[in-house]
């Protein structure tokens, strides 16, 4: 009842093909953006920014990138951490070595470094797929791990191996408060999400999905698998690289190569699986889930245990976290392979016909 | 020259240990077409079980004779692994019959995380010892050929022998028994095997049990060498390139692949490492596997992958 | 009024194809004339799909070559073949199950979409205009195939007969000069077959598309094709008009068995 499309007729193709064809969706998104940009800065605490909002925004961007590669183009990748690392260290090198390098171009250049790295390590996708491709992307991951640990040039030869940035500003405005950092990342996220959505509903998006669904048939109708796969790697690693540089510059401030280890890659993959592969919104939902779950468990489990009369240590919570992650992955793959995004659209469908059952 | 041989031998034996883990991968893939990312977690789980059982048995029963304690702990841990296998088949695999490979792979990833959390919850997350009486002192051998002799690690040698024995047993199992044949049929095509009456579920339980035992042996040996700790789970990641090199469907491939990777890692670290900053062990195996993927994706001994339209 | 049958447009010379020890095709030669409807028939396993796969570049024959519009190739590259104007449907439908009918057919227009990634990301100006222009063409195909109500449905949810139509639509979206159809009527009932025949004949009539058709239904083959090639166990055993082939004793024995 709330979600009926009755009366919303489209009279032109642009109208039919817009990102949010249903009016209720448009209203919802506008409200969401208003809340995110205008309301949240007033009401959120420092803790919320640092522990939830900023990581969520940056991880949502990274998950978006991973989704393009894994969800839309069907190329499994366990090297996302490496792409983030290349983005971060690339941006760092431009920022620290080039005098007066402004922040935004440095971040974008970091993204381009990640693109080059991604295309290089994406070449195996032209020969293999599935598990074999996963192994190839792991090669990228471990190689990047080593590169930023041992090749001192990347870290400007600091003795400790960790690097840091400070005094960030964009267009003259200093990024020192949590609110300013949050708004900066959010703006970038919205822009990138819009561009990504356009790509995904356009010709290249269809090519990616064709390759994912049946690449032999795709070749026969004139899609060149090489171009489609490498462009997926390129776009995806660019986005992941920018997210990586944001993660390093804005969230961490100072970091070591271990910040981008293979665990990060798995985390991103889980976000995409749980959130929903092949769906832009899925990246958001998955990132929210994975960012919030540990915090939720940290508060919830000790509380429940307290009610039952015994104490739980943080190690128990972290073990529980592992178990819940694992169980959720398996559960989603069995029950709803299209993840939270599918559950969301099922929910919308129910709202469409409420109060009738179908 | 002697140093080169020592490095070579060290590499061969390290490689054997990789092969042990790789064997688990190959078994499950051969029989169910699933790549089991949880193999490392299974190694950890099994090793934890055995270590703790060996610790608790004397406390609970007063038995102190080490061989007996270890044996019972081994059997108990094996039982635990059987249960894990049965549960995995029941709860996960049965519901994902004939899904595509990527889905199954990601499901095993989820299982891996679950097992890691569960294992540490039940058995604790300190570093535990497994003491199966392996001699820890190295031996100087061949001193009539090389002055001073070659330094050989006895523990590694025994581990290599155990691994070789296990491989021989498994090869016989696969090739000569009817269960082995059924396993190979299932690996080829789930639905076809089902349609000729092979009980898919039971076969899968058998395979995962066998893989569990292999994981237990691997866990026992690695645990004895390194101590049982969380990082054991990441050994699976070290063993992945081995199956790529050897071929996912080949048991001898897992061995040869393991040996090549083991030797390659050691030699490259010693002779190439100093030029590029050291520590190249973490990616050497993977880059080697990557190159293989570009040239010969099915590995040295695997079956060629054919796509039909 | 259908266009008159023209010169040879596709010429297959001595194609042999093996898979390991299995000889799928042995020394096959035949030609296809422009604007005609050429049927390939034969018992199951005769190698008909393999032949189409060779023309399409999906398989590479060990021997022989193929001449298309005067150019000879010993190995066809799938992409190149599509660019040259050869489109194809598949026996087992190779539709993109994750996408809607509209998107599936739109992928057929990809060859003609020129705007680069950057414009597509902005979805503005030339990229938007191109999407609209091709959407128009795809809607014409959807009208032609009478599948308008299903345009936004994911193809995996459609019944088999409709999926086959989408497969045809995707091939038509390439605006091909040669259309390779692999058992387009398999699994259809009488009405669906009539519809499909009508579509094929219309495509041949209106656009002059040359059609190479693999089909088992003899009635359809004899009715609509201009010439027929007969394969059996990878060898060619008949080539000519439907009547000639119908009376060929080798063909009769291949289908009915010897001893008649």
Taking the domains of chain C in order of start, what are their residue ranges?
1-85+176-260, 97-174
Given CB atoms, is C100 within the 8 Å cutoff of chain A? no
A199: Cβ contacts below 8 Å, ≥ 6 apart: A68, A205, A235, C117, C120, C121
Given CB atoms, is B115 within the 8 Å cutoff of chain A? yes
**Cα–Cα nearest to B243, from B174, B159, B299:** B299
Whether pLDDT at B130 is above 90: no
- Min distance C94 CA to chain A CA atoms (Å): 6
Given CB atoms, is C60 within the 8 Å cutoff of chain A? no
pLDDT tens per residue across span C228-259:
999 988 888 889 998 888 888 888 887 766 54
Is the Cβ pair C96, A214 closer than 8 Å? yes
Whether pLDDT at C1 is above 50: no
A6: Cβ contacts below 8 Å, ≥ 6 apart: none
Is the Cβ pair B110, A145 closer than 8 Å? no
A1 found inside a domain: no
Which residue in C56, C130, C135 is closest to A220 by CB distance? Answer: C56
Confidence of residue B303 (pLDDT cuts 50, 70, 90): confident
- Residue C219: predicted pLDDT: 85
Q: Name chain C contacts of A13, Cβ cutoff 8 Å.
A: 131-132, 135-136
Q: Name chain A contacts of B282, Cβ cutoff 8 Å.
A: 142, 145-146
Give the Cα separation of C76 and C65 in Å (integer).
9
- Min distance B158 CA to chain A CA atoms (Å): 30
Total residues found in chain A within this entry: 358
Q: Which helix (H) or strand (E) holds C75?
A: none
Which residues span the domain enclosing A97? 52-353
Where are the extended beta strands (E) located within B64-143?
Answer: 138-141
Q: Name chain A contacts of B276, Cβ cutoff 8 Å.
A: 150-151
Share above pLDDT 70 across residues of chain B, in percent, rounded to a whole number: 90
Q: Name chain C contacts of A65, Cβ cutoff 8 Å.
A: none
Q: Name chain A contacts of B126, Cβ cutoff 8 Å.
A: none
Which residue in B248, B276, B283 is closest to A142 by CB distance? Answer: B283
- Min distance A27 CA to chain C CA atoms (Å): 21
Is the Cβ pair A203, C131 closer than 8 Å? yes
Confidence of residue B309 (pLDDT cuts 50, 70, 90): very low
- Residue B147: predicted pLDDT: 64
- Residue B281: predicted pLDDT: 78
The two tokens of residue B81 are: 């692994």
A297 found inside a domain: yes
How far separated are the first and last CA of chain C, in Å rounded? 42
- Residue B142: predicted pLDDT: 66
Given CB atoms, is C58 within the 8 Å cutoff of chain B? yes
Given CB atoms, is B309 within the 8 Å cutoff of chain C? yes
- Min distance A121 CA to chain B CA atoms (Å): 9
Whether pLDDT at A104 is above 60: yes
Report CA-CA distances (Å) from A8 to A12, A22, A31, A199: 12, 7, 20, 25
The lowest-confidence range among A121-135, A232-246, C158-172 is A121-135
Mean pLDDT of C60-68: 90
pLDDT tens per residue across span B228-256:
777 777 777 888 889 888 888 887 888 88
pLDDT tens per residue across span A8-22:
778 888 878 788 878
- Residue A188: predicted pLDDT: 94
Confidence of residue B146 (pLDDT cuts 50, 70, 90): low
The two tokens of residue A330 are: 């398996």
Q: Name chain C contacts of A228, Cβ cutoff 8 Å.
A: none
Q: What angle do CA A265, A269, A270 make, to 5 degrees?
A: 115
Share above pLDDT 70 across residues of chain C, in percent, rounded to a whole number: 97
Whether pLDDT at A172 is above 80: no
Tally the domains of chain A. Answer: 1
Give the Cα separation of A311 and A300 in Å (integer).
12
A3 found inside a domain: no
pLDDT tens per residue across span A244-273:
999 999 999 888 888 898 889 989 998 998
Q: What's the whole-model pTM score? A: 0.88
- Residue A153: predicted pLDDT: 83
Is the Cβ pair B105, A134 closer than 8 Å? yes
Contacts with A, C 126-145, CB within 8 Å: 127-128, 130-132, 135-136
The chains in contact with chain C, meaning 3 or more Cβ pairs closer than 8 Å, are A, B
Using the Cα atoms of residue A177, residue A183, residue A186 and residue A191 in order, give the sign of their dihedral: negative
Give the Cα separation of B2 and A192 in Å (integer).
59
Chain C CA closest to residue B304: C20
Mean pLDDT of C106-121: 85
Given CB atoms, is C37 within the 8 Å cutoff of chain A? no
- Min distance C78 CA to chain A CA atoms (Å): 5
Give the Cα separation of C237 and C146 in Å (integer).
38
Q: What is the CATH number of the domain that holds A142?
A: 1.10.3470
- Residue A65: predicted pLDDT: 95
B24: Cβ contacts below 8 Å, ≥ 6 apart: B36, B39, B42, B43, B211, B214, B215, B218
Quick one: fold of C1-85+176-260?
Rossmann fold (3.40.50)
ipTM exceeding cut-off 0.90 for this assembly: no
Given CB atoms, is C96 within the 8 Å cutoff of chain A? yes
Q: Name chain C contacts of B309, Cβ cutoff 8 Å.
A: 53, 58, 90, 92, 94
């Amino acid at each position: 009842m709330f979600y009926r499309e009755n009366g919303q007729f489209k009279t032109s193709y642009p109208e039919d093909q817009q990102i949010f064809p249903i009016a209720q969706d448009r209203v919802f998104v506008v409200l969401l953006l208003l809340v995110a940009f205008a309301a949240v800065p007033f009401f959120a605490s420092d803790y919320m920014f640092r522990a939830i909002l900023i990581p969520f925004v940056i991880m949502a961007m990274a998950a978006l990138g991973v989704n393009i590669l894994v969800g839309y183009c069907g190329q499994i990748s366990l090297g996302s951490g490496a792409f983030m690392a290349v983005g971060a260290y690339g941006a760092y090198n431009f920022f620290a070595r080039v005098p007066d390098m402004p922040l935004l171009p440095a971040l974008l250049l970091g993204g381009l470094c990640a693109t080059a790295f991604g295309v290089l390590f994406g070449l195996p996708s032209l020969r293999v797929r599935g598990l074999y491709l996963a192994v190839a992307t792991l090669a990228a991951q471990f190689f990047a791990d080593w590169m930023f640990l041992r090749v001192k040039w990347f870290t400007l030869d600091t003795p400790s191996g960790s690097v840091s940035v400070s005094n960030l500003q964009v267009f003259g405005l200093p990024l020192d408060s949590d609110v300013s950092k949050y708004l900066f990342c959010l703006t970038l996220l919205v822009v990138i999400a819009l561009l990504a959505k356009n790509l995904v509903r356009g010709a290249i998006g269809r090519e990616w999905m064709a390759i994912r669904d049946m690449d032999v048939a795709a070749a026969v109708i004139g899609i060149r698998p090489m171009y489609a796969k490498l462009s997926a790697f390129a776009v995806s690693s660019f986005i992941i690289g920018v997210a990586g540089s944001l993660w390093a510059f804005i969230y961490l401030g100072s970091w070591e190569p271990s910040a981008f280890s293979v665990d990060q890659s798995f985390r991103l993959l889980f976000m995409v699986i749980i959130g929903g592969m092949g769906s832009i919104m899925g990246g958001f939902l998955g990132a929210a889930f994975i960012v919030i779950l540990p915090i939720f468990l940290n508060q919830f489990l000790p509380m429940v245990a307290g009610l039952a009369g015994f104490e739980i240590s943080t190690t128990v919570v972290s073990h529980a976290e592992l178990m819940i992650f694992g169980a959720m992955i398996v559960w989603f793959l069995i029950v709803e392979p299209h993840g939270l995004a599918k559950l969301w659209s099922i929910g919308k469908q129910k709202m469409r016909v409420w109060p009738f059952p179908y | 020259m002697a140093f080169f041989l020592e490095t070579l031998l060290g590499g061969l034996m390290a490689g054997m240990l990789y092969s042990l883990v790789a064997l688990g991968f190959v078994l499950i893939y051969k029989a169910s077409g699933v790549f089991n990312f949880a193999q490392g977690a299974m190694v950890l789980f099994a090793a934890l079980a055995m270590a703790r059982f060996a610790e608790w048995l004397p406390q609970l029963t007063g038995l102190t004779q080490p061989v007996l304690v270890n044996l019972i702990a081994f059997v108990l841990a094996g039982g635990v692994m059987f249960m894990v296998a049965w549960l995995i088949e029941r709860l996960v695999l049965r519901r994902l019959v004939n899904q595509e490979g990527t889905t199954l792979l990601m499901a095993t990833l989820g299982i891996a995380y679950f097992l890691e959390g569960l294992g540490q919850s039940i058995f604790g997350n300190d570093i535990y010892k497994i003491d199966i009486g392996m001699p820890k002192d190295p031996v100087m051998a061949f001193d009539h050929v090389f002055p001073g002799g070659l330094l050989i690690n006895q523990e590694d040698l025994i581990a290599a022998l155990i691994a070789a024995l296990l491989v021989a047993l498994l090869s016989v199992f696969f090739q000569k028994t009817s269960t082995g044949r059924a396993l190979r049929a299932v690996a080829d095509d789930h639905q076809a095997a089902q349609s000729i009456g092979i009980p898919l579920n039971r076969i899968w339980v058998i395979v995962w049990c066998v893989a569990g035992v292999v994981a237990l042996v691997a866990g026992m040996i690695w645990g004895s060498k390194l101590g049982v700790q969380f990082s054991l789970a990441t050994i699976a990641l070290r063993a992945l390139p081995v199956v790529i090199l050897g071929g996912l469907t080949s048991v001898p491939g897992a061995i040869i692949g393991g040996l090549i990777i083991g030797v390659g890692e050691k030699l490259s670290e010693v002779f190439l490492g100093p030029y590029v900053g050291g520590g190249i062990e973490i990616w050497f195996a993977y880059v080697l596997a990557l190159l293989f993927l570009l040239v010969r994706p099915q590995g040295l001994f695997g079956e060629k992958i054919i796509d039909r339209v | 009024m259908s266009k008159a049958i023209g010169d040879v447009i596709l010429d297959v010379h001595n194609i042999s194809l093996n898979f390991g020890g299995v000889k799928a095709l042995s020394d096959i030669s035949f030609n296809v004339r422009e604007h005609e409807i050429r049927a390939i028939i034969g018992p199951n396993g005769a190698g008909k799909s393999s032949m189409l796969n060779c023309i399409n570049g999906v398989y590479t024959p060990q021997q022989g070559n193929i001449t298309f519009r005067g150019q000879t190739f010993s190995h066809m590259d799938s992409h190149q073949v599509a660019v040259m104007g050869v489109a194809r449907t598949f026996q087992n439908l190779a539709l993109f199950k994750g996408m809607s009918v509209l998107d599936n057919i739109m992928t057929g227009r990809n060859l003609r979409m020129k705007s680069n990634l950057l414009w597509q990301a902005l979805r503005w100006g030339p990229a938007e205009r191109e999407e609209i222009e091709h959407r128009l063409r795809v809607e014409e195909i959807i009208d032609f195939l009478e599948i308008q109500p299903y345009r936004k449905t994911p193809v995996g949810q459609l019944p088999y007969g409709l999926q086959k139509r989408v497969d045809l639509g995707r091939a038509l979206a390439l605006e091909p000069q040669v259309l390779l159809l692999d058992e387009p009527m398999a699994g259809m009932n009488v009405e669906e077959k009539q519809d499909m025949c009508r579509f094929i004949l219309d495509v041949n009539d209106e656009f002059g598309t040359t059609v190479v058709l693999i089909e088992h239904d003899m009635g359809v083959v004899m009715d609509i094709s201009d010439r027929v090639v007969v394969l059996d166990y990878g060898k060619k055993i008949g080539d000519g008009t439907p009547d000639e082939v119908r009376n060929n004793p080798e063909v009769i024995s291949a289908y009915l068995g010897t001893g008649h």
